[in-house]
Amino acid sequence: MLTGSIYGWENGEDDIFNPHSPRNRDNCLEPMRLIDELGRQRGISLHTADVNERNQVFPDFSLYVESIDFVASPAKRNYLILYETLLTVPRNANYQYLNQFDLIFTWNRGLIEDGLTDSGGMHLPKERFIQIYHPNPIPIECRDNFYSRTFDERPDFICLIGSNRHANAFDERELYSERVRAIKWFEENALEDFKLYGNGWTVPQKRFGRLGKIRYRVEKIAPWILGRPVFPSYQGPVKTKYEVLSKTKFCICFENARDIEGYITEKIFDCLFAGCIPVYWGDAEIGKSIPAECFVDFRQYRSYAELQEHLKAMTPTQFLRYQEVARDFLQSIKFEPYSSESFAEVVVNKIVQNFALV
């Protein structure tokens, strides 16, 4: 039996495999449960690091979920799953950090095709990087039937679901601030059509850097004194994204960063599952992965006013066509690389192969 320790899940106690965990919103832990299940079928015993330490199990390998501090251990091999860009997690492009891992699972095509070379000329070969895609659990509501509410059955016009955060590196490609611009435009020009959901929107926009933090503190003063909401469209957190998206016609669906090839997260899939049309901005080559007829490409509009005009003019028949194309895509083999099952198979199979277990 091969043993492994998972790092990067702060709750520990194997919570990362628990379908009843409070962190399992929208069944987001399904990919890790499938890694555990498939691993057991292939002779792997996998637990969060605290469980193995308590049971005095010395793991054969460690599996890190996103870039957290590396922990020295007796593990023979160390693996890393990268979800985010360096704009959000800067060490995802740090040679010294990444060089501690034998294999790195990532969506980043630049790393997969060329490896990583730092400013000092140190190089990680492309063989250290294994391609994965952001996994997308199918909502329970869609498991047996991909039926979606029609245009007329959706009372809400447009929404945005996200947390009030900022990038952790200065880069013109970040879209955290663009989301805030979208929110403010709709609040100022079409408040009755727009609803904001997520965490952290009772305070002003979070900002990066020392000056950004000072500006953030100053911007908190007026709303506090006047007793006014910072974002009047804010509806609070969501229980599930599906619940909100299934009653909404359109969703502002911006990635955390734009123009990074291969960086396609769950955001657009959440919309497609619920039959909500995403207004997308992110990977410039998104049309190579997801049919362009599934979403509204924000880059085609010169302003939010022009976007709003286009969305308002959409007919129920046109809306239905978007839904039909999305449903066909989700039920086709083209979706399979983005599934939880495919994600688990790539990770487990590579670890097994790495340890020569056949």
Domain locations along the chain: 2-135+339-354, 140-335
Spatial separation of the C-alpha atoms in residues 153 and 176, rounded to whole Å: 31
Spatial separation of the C-alpha atoms in residues 23 and 13, rounded to whole Å: 13
Asked whether the domain spanning 140-335 has the same topology as the one spanning 2-135+339-354, the reply is: yes
pLDDT in tens, 16-56: 999 999 889 899 999 999 999 999 999 999 999 999 999 99
Q: Does domain 2-135+339-354 fall into CATH 3.40.50? A: yes
Spatial separation of the C-alpha atoms in residues 280 and 263, rounded to whole Å: 13
Q: Is the pLDDT of residue 99 over 50?
A: yes
Beta bridge partners of 87: none
- The class of domain 140-335 in CATH terms is alpha beta
pLDDT band at 358, cuts 50/70/90?
very low
Q: Which pLDDT does position 145 carry in this prediction? A: 78
Which one-letter amino acid corresponds to residue 335? F
Residue position matching structure tokens 């922990």: 71
Which one-letter amino acid corresponds to residue 327? R
CA angle 205, 177, 225 (to 5 degrees): 20
Is residue 263 within 8 Å of residue 255, measured between CB atoms?
A: yes
pLDDT in tens, 266-312: 999 999 999 999 999 999 999 999 999 999 999 999 999 999 999 99
pLDDT in tens, 126-181: 999 999 999 999 998 887 778 889 999 999 999 999 999 999 999 999 999 999 99
pLDDT in tens, 188-242: 999 999 999 999 999 989 998 888 888 878 887 777 776 678 999 999 999 999 9
| 235 to 195, 199, 248, 293: CA distances (angstroms) | 7, 10, 14, 30
Q: Based on the number of CB atoms within 10 Å of its own CB, is 274 exposed (0-12), middle (13-18) or buried (19 or more)?
A: buried
Q: Which pLDDT does position 10 carry in this prediction? A: 67
Is residue 224 within 8 Å of residue 216, measured between CB atoms?
A: no
Q: What is the rounded radius of gyration, in angstroms, for the C-alpha atoms of the chain?
A: 22
Can you read off the two tokens belonging to residue 3? Answer: 């043993």
Is residue 132 within 8 Å of residue 32, measured between CB atoms?
A: no
Q: Which pLDDT does position 228 carry in this prediction? A: 79
Spatial separation of the C-alpha atoms in residues 307 and 302, rounded to whole Å: 8
pLDDT band at 258, cuts 50/70/90?
very high
Spatial separation of the C-alpha atoms in residues 195 and 218, rounded to whole Å: 26
Percentage of residues in the chain having pLDDT higher than 90:
84
Is residue 143 within 8 Å of residue 162, measured between CB atoms?
A: no
